[in-house]
Amino acid sequence: MRQGSHVIVLPFPGQGHLTPMSQFCKRLASKGLKPTFVLVSDKPSPPYKTEIDSITVFPIPNGFKDGEDPLQDLDDYMERVERSIKNCLPELIQDMKLSGNPPRVLVYDSTMPWLLDVAHGHGLSGAVFFTQPWLVSAIYYHVLKGSYSVPYTKYAHSTLASFPSFPMLNAKDLPSFLCESASYPNMLRIVIDQLSNIDRVDVVLCNTFDKLEEKLLTWVQSLWPVMNIGPTVPSMYLDKRLPEDKNYGFSLFNAKVAECIEWLNSKQPNSVVYVSFGSLVILKEDQMLELAAGLKQTGCFFLWVVRETETDKLPKNYTDEIGEKGLIVSWSPQLEVLAHESVGCFLTHCGWNSTLEGLSLGVPMIGMPHWTDQPTNAKFMEDVWKVGVRVKAEDDGFVRREEIVRCVGEVMEGESGKEIRKNSEKWKVLAREAVSEGGSSDKSIDEFVSMIF
Ligand code: UDP
């Protein structure tokens, strides 16, 4: 190993950021780099090495004491995380320098743009990592530059003039913080700030792949040193085949893996609707009840992830009522589930990881976006990549049970479902190509690695 083959990877501490950045970290390790993965944690343990990939995991505190609720105030949370990272990171870099293998690059989450100056201040290059697609970053960039005006009413639409490839975007298709800026001023600032210093960044990494956003790629590459390195889905899942090892490598979640997979094993191919809204979306109680009724009414088998904090909102006796038709779990091994042949469609909130996972594994989708970039992802999923449908919500955002039934019917059985399935197969092949040896993302990762060696 040559001097300087070290790289630090620093995600924002949320599932949708940790997952793709840890997968990217594994890819870097597989190409011979020695990554240190900095994990902002509420209960930091001493540093340790992962067994298989020999990645050093370096937990640091999130700045909250035991008993304090970090989710009370977003600004406070961001400030404390920033303070803690600024405290711990220089020491880590210094130690790495002293150990004779100094880090060359800091790969940092786009939601913490101030890390660019921290990297430069310590003689490291700064590689920003976007866990959202270019279509979303492009919109934020134009809003930042003042060259895009958000439609004021739900019915108005607007296109980004510089991107003829963009479909017409209604207010309901835009990232939610733009249209509901008054409700989430802090979130709006954070998402726009991601682009604030992109013109000075040394490398811009994005969890997408060239063909998926082909038309935008020309534009973003004309501005920044862009490398699309996704999908970060581990390649063993991209064959829609489960790994040989029945432990699936997830010792922590083995019981849950087994529960889901055994249930899926007993079902026919393409007969199950998998339902998950990611790690953050909170549905109102009436929406949960309606969704529960809708899923039951479809008559299909369904595997529904309902986080423990949400189970109270399910109808009483629901599990008894649905019997063998449905399985409700508090967490699912999503990649294993999506890769399972029994899964025929994915009802998703369209978080970027979930969208990319569904698309890469060739599973037709039903988009039920909630907030942040999910509406935009849903728009592209339905209208550009054509791998699913999006539920039509009432004016107040409520989705009726009949709409759930209609969408499931359309995707699982309808004529348009056949077209969707064909497109899903196409994108699955393209996603796999991108990360296979010699594919566009694989080449980008090689290029990135060669910059560090
Ligand atoms: N996920 C999972 N099991 C679950 C729920 C989520 O493995 O029960 C994973 C999912 O595969 C994805 C991530 O968590 O990689 C969620 O990210 P996404 O961007 O879709 O949504 P977010 O949670 O950020 O809203």
Same-domain check for residues 447 and 421: no
What is the extent of the structural domain holding 129? 6-234+437-452
The stretch 407-421 carries a mean pLDDT of: 95
> Which CATH number covers residue 199?
3.40.50.2000
pLDDT digits (tens, 9 = 90+) for 130-152: 999 999 999 999 989 988 777 66
Identify the CA nearest to 345 among candidates 390, 288, 396. Answer: 390
Same-domain check for residues 196 and 279: no
Contact 229, 172 (CB under 8 A): no
Same-domain check for residues 65 and 192: yes
Same-domain check for residues 369 and 272: yes
| Ligand 1 pocket mutation, candidates 21, 110, 131, 279, criterion most atoms within 8 A of CB | 279
H or E segment to which residue 106 belongs = strand 103-109
Q: Tell me, what amino acid is at 202?
A: D
Burial class (CB in 10 A: 0-12, 13-18, 19+), 84: middle
Total domain count, the chain: 2
Same-domain check for residues 202 and 255: no
Q: Which residues does ligand 1 sit against, CB inside 6 Å?
A: 15-16, 19, 276, 278-280, 305, 331-332, 334-335, 351-354, 357
pLDDT at 436 over 80: yes
The DSSP string of 215-238 is HHHHHHHHHS-EEE----S-GGGT
Would you say residue 343 lies in a domain?
yes
Structure-block tokens of residue 22: 């840890």
pLDDT digits (tens, 9 = 90+) for 39-59: 999 888 899 998 777 899 999
- Nearest atom in ligand 1 to 374's CA: 25
Residue of the CA atom closest to atom 15 of ligand 1? 353
Same-domain check for residues 310 and 346: yes
pLDDT at 1 over 50: no
Residue 131 Cα to ligand 1 midpoint, Å, equals: 12
The Cα–Cα gap between 57 and 25 comes to 11
Residue 349 Cα to ligand 1 midpoint, Å, equals: 10
Residue 353 Cα to ligand 1 midpoint, Å, equals: 6
The answer to whether the bond into 185 is cis (omega within 30° of 0) is no
Would you say residue 1 lies in a domain?
no
Catalytic site residue from 6, 109, 173, 442: 109
pLDDT at 247 over 70: no
Catalytic (active site) residue 17:
yes
- Nearest atom in ligand 1 to 17's CA: 24
pLDDT at 165 over 90: no
